[in-house]
Chain A
Amino acid sequence: MSGRVLVVDDEVEMQRALRTGLSYHDFEVRAVGSGEEAISEAATWRPDVILLDLGLPGMDGFVTLKKLRPATRAAVIVISVMPDEKDKVRALDAGADDYLVKPFGTEELVARIRAVLRRQADVTAGEPVIRSGDLEIDIGRRTVTVQGKLVRLTPTEYELLRYLALHAGKPVTHTTLLRQVWGDYAIGDKYNTRYVVAQIRKKLGDDPANPRYIINEPGVGYRLEG
């Protein structure tokens, strides 16, 4: 068994498709159709991953997300037909670990679920060295290397990269990055993060038109490839 997945979606067809698809990949699946059920199921059944649809009847997805967060350690992947970037940012800022826009294929979903589970395991293990391809970030020694060669970063650049590394694979919003790296006063000044990311990419020898390490999440923020 590779983990417990709780599906929260009001469409019965979607519930059945997900139950069938995920079971072929050895996940144990339960499905509910409302936010209230999701909260009680999360507390009693203790899933590892929750797939949360934002367009729920009654208690809506955002409210459910906020109520779920203190009740469970499960990773939450938001699934929604709304491709609006503002909703993605809101969901991530409310504590979601990732989002996936509907419609999606089962393969893609399984890849995302495995990624959040891997991240959870890494956090639990407290791994001091984070790798993304041939990029290594040693949190303990505050060093960054590419193919074993040391890269010199300014303190701001290092802080930004470190924060992305600590959440490798997860999209981090501009707002979160600004707050974590510059402090509360810089919120809203997104050009700061864009400029610093461009500098880091240059130093890592990354191609901005085809980056390997720091990936853009359009309208949302950045993600370090896990």
Chain B
Amino acid sequence: MRPRLAPYAVAIGGVIAITAVIWLISSKTSVPGLSAIYLLLILWLGARWGRGPALVGSVGAFLSYDFFFVPPVNTFTVRDSANVLELIVLLAVALVTSQLAASLRRSRATAEALARESRALYEVATAALRSAEVTAALSMLCRRATELTSVSRFALVAVDSGQPSALAGGDLSPAELKQAAWSHENGRAIGIAVRDGMVSVVRKHPSDSAPAYLPLASGVAVIGIDEDQVTPDELRMLAAVVGLADLLMDRRRAALESERARGLESSDRLKTAILSSLSHELKSPIASLRTGLTALAAPQAGLKDDQRELLVDLDRQASRLDRMVGDLLALSRLEAGLQLDREAHGFSDLVANATRHLRIELASNRLVVELPDDLPPVNVDEVQAGRVVANLLENAHEWAPPGGVIEVGASPRDGMLEAWVENDGPPIATGDLDRIFDTFWTRRVRGSGLGLAICKRVVEAHGGTIRAENRRRGPRFTFTLPLAHVAAPRAQAL
């Protein structure tokens, strides 16, 4: 910055003028201590322009007074020791005065700058926080930032799920958006640095006119900044603006997220309603069928044995239809991604529920359940996880020979519970091991191909895995479920 010359000219002119005044006064009367008039000038110079002009004034006053008024007059030499003292005092007082005035000026300037800054920030902050539209507040913030002399451009880029988009402060070129996305993704600033709430410009190649990129909590600030015009005041202001932008961008993201959550919730409700109504429409006719068929199959109905047998067969078909509809609805529920109702459950409870549900089918098998006593509980949706065990048991029952053995076991492993269901039926063809969990794929003539697909969905929805393998005795299905972290049960006081 070139020093301005006007204050120095004023300082020299002032000294000349005061010298003239003192010369006029002392030519008429003899007044002692007239040199103090210079001090007024120096004080004023210091307060107005700071130390430089005041110093020039001080030296000028010292020299003029010595030259024009201290005998021998019109020389710089001093003969009288009293006059030497007077000159020294004049110089010393002038210097101290200029120093004091200058520091006074500096602190006033600082105070004013601070006041300006906080007023500006206050205005921006209140306007931003009051405005219902975060985007409007951000635009205002960008305008405010470009009012700084060194800032030619201030734009904010939102990065929502990896996609950058200009949010406020004008458009950006595709290259700039890409750069902004990179900066956000890596959390790295380009051409600018922020530390302890202070912004500093990182020196660039002089011809480089590219803006600086500053990653925020949920976006990027793109700042065109002129390194040559930067002052500490402006950097402070810029830091404050960036801080506010950070806050507002975060608020915007939070608002977006809660909106998205509301959307998901209402679509969940809609899906539940559709599935409920569908389930009602599909199951009601089957319900009438089964109740009617079983009513007529009772001996009291007085039908002949072969007629009753036919009715029992038909009821079995109706039950099969019911199970298939149930499986389809269960699968749609899982596909719809509805929430699981997870709680801590003993795995033995899940086995108990499943075996009870299948007690008629399993009566023809030998069921061996071996679970350690200290098996930790699992964090699962009781009904859904119970369905996994039931479907695997049903599958084992289908494949085990009459009177065959079905084994159920479990043990904790790598923070999960690993459980398996094994039967002594024929092995699964190697090529089928992978396809066996596919929807509608089945090895059975009358299978729906849904049971194992449901198992896979439920297990995966819980964050577990499921696989099939051929063991020496027969096929084994192994799946994992997350363990529950439960606090010790409440003290059993009554």
Contacts and interface: CB of A to CB of B under 8 A. Distances in A.
A149 to B, nearest CB: 21
Interface string B313-357: 001001100100010000000000000010111101101110110
B391 to A, nearest CB: 14
A11 B284 contact: yes
Choose among B301, B377, B408, B490 the residue with the greatest number of A CB atoms under 10 Å from its CB.
B490
Interface in A167-183: 181-182
A12 to B, nearest CB: 9
Contacts of B386: 218
Nearest to B375: A208
B418 interface: no
A11 B288 contact: yes
B489 interface: yes
A211 B352 contact: yes
A196 B492 contact: yes
Interface string B289-303: 111101111101100
B283 A102 contact: yes
Nearest to B351: A209
B283 A192 contact: no
A28 to B, nearest CB: 15
Interface residues on A, range: 35 or more
A159 interface: yes
A20 B295 contact: yes
A21 interface: yes
B202 interface: no
Nearest to A159: B494
Contact of B318 (A82, A103, A192): A103
A219 B408 CA distance: 22
A20 B290 CA distance: 13
A37 interface: no
A19 to B, nearest CB: 9
B408 to A, nearest CB: 8
A127 interface: no
Contact of B492 (A20, A22, A156): A156
B290 A21 contact: no
B255 interface: no
A103 B352 CA distance: 23
A198 B346 contact: yes
A215 B386 CA distance: 14
Contact of A194 (B280, B326, B349, B351): B349
A21 B300 CA distance: 9
Contact of B291 (A24, A103, A198, A215): A103
A33 interface: no
A81 B352 CA distance: 24
Contacts of B353: 216, 218
A201 B279 CA distance: 37
A189 B371 CA distance: 25
B83 interface: no
Choose among B283, B343, B352 the residue with the greatest number of A CB atoms under 10 Å from its CB.
B352
Given A11-B284, A216-B352, A156 B494 contact: yes
Interface string B223-260: 00000000000000000000000000000000000000
B287 interface: yes
A156 B249 CA distance: 54
Interface in A41-56: 55
Contact of A155 (B319, B322, B494): B494
B276 A21 contact: no
A106 B369 contact: no
B383 interface: yes
B489 A191 contact: yes
A208 B352 contact: yes
A154 B492 contact: yes
Contact of B283 (A24, A85, A103, A207): A103
Nearest to A13: B288
B356 A215 contact: yes
Contacts of A156: 492-494
B298 A24 contact: yes
Interface in A33-72: 55
A38 B319 CA distance: 30
B288 to A, nearest CB: 4
B66 interface: no
B286 interface: yes
Interface string A14-38: 1011101110110000000000000
Choose among A24, A25, A215 the residue with the greatest number of B CB atoms under 10 Å from its CB.
A24
B489 A192 contact: yes
A140 interface: no
Contact of A191 (B322, B344, B382): B344
Contacts of A190: 343
B435 to A, nearest CB: 29
Nearest to A84: B276
Contact of A14 (B287, B315, B344, B346): B287
Given A17-B288, A106-B298, A82 B276 contact: yes
10 contacts: A25-B298, A81-B287, A82-B276, A103-B319, A105-B291, A106-B297, A156-B493, A194-B349, A210-B369, A216-B353
Interface of B: 276, 279-280, 283-292, 294-298, 300-301, 315, 318-319, 322, 326, 341, 343-346, 348-349, 351-353, 355-356, 369, 371, 377, 382-383, 386, 408, 486, 489-490, 492-494
Given A194-B344, A208-B348, A219-B341, 9 more contacts: A17-B295, A81-B280, A82-B276, A106-B297, A155-B494, A198-B346, A208-B371, A215-B356, A218-B353
Q: Would you list the 5 A-B pairs with minimal beta carbon distance, nearest first?
A: A21-B295, A24-B300, A17-B292, A102-B287, A103-B287
